[in-house]
Amino acid sequence: MELFDKSKIEKEIRELPNGILTILLDTAVSLNINSIAIVGGVVRDLITKSKNQDSEIIFNDLDLIIEGETSIYVKELQKKLGPERVKVIRNNTTYKTSEISINGIKVDIATAREETYPIPGENPIVESSTIQNDLIRRDFNINAMAIELKDNKLLDLFSGLDAIYNKKIDFLHESSVLDDPTRIIRASRYSAKLGFRLSHQALRQIKDTVNLWPWNWHIGDNADLAPSGLSIRLKMELELLLKSNYWKNALKNLQDWGGLNILDPKLQNDQSLIEKVFIAKKSNIEPLTALVYESKYPISLAQRLHFDKQQKEIIEGACQLKKYLENLTVNDLYKKWPPSKWTSFLEEINANESSFILEICKENPLKEYLISWLTNWKDIESPIKGDDLIAKGWAPGPEIGLELKRQRMKLIDEEIIS
């Protein structure tokens, strides 16, 4: 079929060097590898493009599957093209994958595999298998197609071609969400990116599975005990979604489908969540950090999603700030505080500036003071330097620090009056 002719694919995806697909096939043939195929997003995008010439193929990498050992295949490819052209980025023997670059283009090669999920939501057991079976373990009909390089044939076991024409995403089987709940996030992302709807069955599967909660770990349990493989993949998928251009629609999909319940029920029900993340994004806050802060138990969710040290510090600082401000409102005394008192109070908390922005986005009732500190008071420096005081005869020591602080606070109060 002309659509999947190797030279035509190379023309459609300008990043691919001329003749590369034939070289990839010849290498497989020379090793007696039965079958090699292009798979995943590239196949989906080629089909979409054939239907709608205006659609764009955004090429990130080439995903290949082979019925053979990836490390042996990569060595042979290096022999053919030379180590200068073929660079190994990573070999993962457990997952039977190799990440390489050919002429600087990223190519992911995987041994065709079957996957079984002995514990729902945890890492699967992987066994080498055929390309057909490899398609069966995938996420959606639109992503479960392959183009075999030997005969340019499209393998489409789940009517992916029709699904693309009908703009409808479906899971491949009834336990798809049970096996891997990150597929809910992926579905929301593809639906927003491609403008495709989710089938009724898929939507029902999401709702029923999330309501049933068939996974061992529950929200509210110790976050350290959440299965780490799943948590890391959840974080990765959320980051991918939130950094995309279509993140608002994707997040809306998740709320409409009840999908945010896999993270936190408060996020699921927050009608102004998109607006809050939008404001945080505009203030240069990482959107996932902003999202997590809007949850019911932000520290626990940050821990569950394996946030790094800096992300955790921002969340913890914001929680601390919130607590301090809540304690302040038990009486009205703060209403008489001058700016200098506010500055001392807020600076003692020692929270990251991003923590302040998170509390502002969260509509803290005292946010006007947080904004004043962030945009004005914090940048006001003492009118004189320590060296000036020493030149005036002050002895070096802690007294100098106190005097500089006194002068800075005085200036902060004067600024507001002037």
Q: Choose between 143 and 191: whose C-beta lies nearer to ligand ATP.
A: 143
Q: Which two tokens stand for residue 107?
A: 């190519």
Cα–Cα dist 138/156, whole Å:
12
- Name the DSSP letter for residue 332: S
Q: Choose between 108 and 359: whose C-beta lies nearer to ligand ATP.
A: 108
Inter-residue contact 117 to 180 (CB < 8 Å): yes
> Smallest distance, Å, CB 60 to ligand ATP?
5
Cα–Cα dist 344/355, whole Å:
17
Q: Which residue is nearest to ligand ATP (CB)?
A: 41
Q: Choose between 139 and 156: whose C-beta lies nearer to ligand ATP.
A: 139
Cα–Cα dist 191/207, whole Å:
17
> Smallest distance, Å, CB 209 to ligand ATP?
14
H/E run at residue 14: none
Q: Choose between 65 and 314: whose C-beta lies nearer to ligand ATP.
A: 65
Q: Choose between 96 and 183: whose C-beta lies nearer to ligand ATP.
A: 183
- Name the DSSP letter for residue 148: E
> Smallest distance, Å, CB 136 to ligand ATP?
10
> Smallest distance, Å, CB 61 to ligand ATP?
7
Q: Choose between 26 and 115: whose C-beta lies nearer to ligand ATP.
A: 115
> Smallest distance, Å, CB 189 to ligand ATP?
7
Q: Choose between 139 and 270: whose C-beta lies nearer to ligand ATP.
A: 139
Cα–Cα dist 54/75, whole Å:
39
Q: Choose between 203 and 325: whose C-beta lies nearer to ligand ATP.
A: 203
Q: What is the DSSP string of 62-128?
A: EEEEESS-HHHHHHHHHHHH-TTTEEEEEEETTTTEEEEEETTEEEEEEE-EEEE-SSTTSPPEEEE
CA dihedral 82, 83, 85, 90 (to 10 degrees): 140
Cα–Cα dist 112/155, whole Å:
14
H/E run at residue 155: strand 153-156
The alpha-helical segments, DSSP class H, found in 337-380 are: 339-349, 353-361, 367-375
- Catalogue the long-range contacts made by 322-325 (C-beta closer than 8 Å, 24 or more residues apart): 322/359, 322/362, 322/364, 324/349, 325/359, 325/364, 325/365, 325/366
Q: Which two tokens stand for residue 260?
A: 């945010």
Q: Choose between 42 and 389: whose C-beta lies nearer to ligand ATP.
A: 42
> Smallest distance, Å, CB 232 to ligand ATP?
12
Contacting residues toward ligand ATP, per CB under 6 A? 40-41, 60, 63, 138-139, 143-144, 180, 182-183, 186
Q: Give Cβ neighbours of residue 412 (< 8 Å, ≥ 6 apart).
A: 339, 340, 343, 377, 380
φ/ψ (deg, to 5) at 240: -60, -45
Question: Strand pairing partners for 384?
Answer: none
> Smallest distance, Å, CB 236 to ligand ATP?
9
> Smallest distance, Å, CB 226 to ligand ATP?
17
Q: Which of 387, 382, 416 is nearest to 402 (CA)?
A: 382
Q: Choose between 60 and 344: whose C-beta lies nearer to ligand ATP.
A: 60
> Smallest distance, Å, CB 237 to ligand ATP?
8
Inter-residue contact 108 to 92 (CB < 8 Å): no
Q: Choose between 144 and 366: whose C-beta lies nearer to ligand ATP.
A: 144
> Smallest distance, Å, CB 270 to ligand ATP?
26
> Smallest distance, Å, CB 49 to ligand ATP?
13
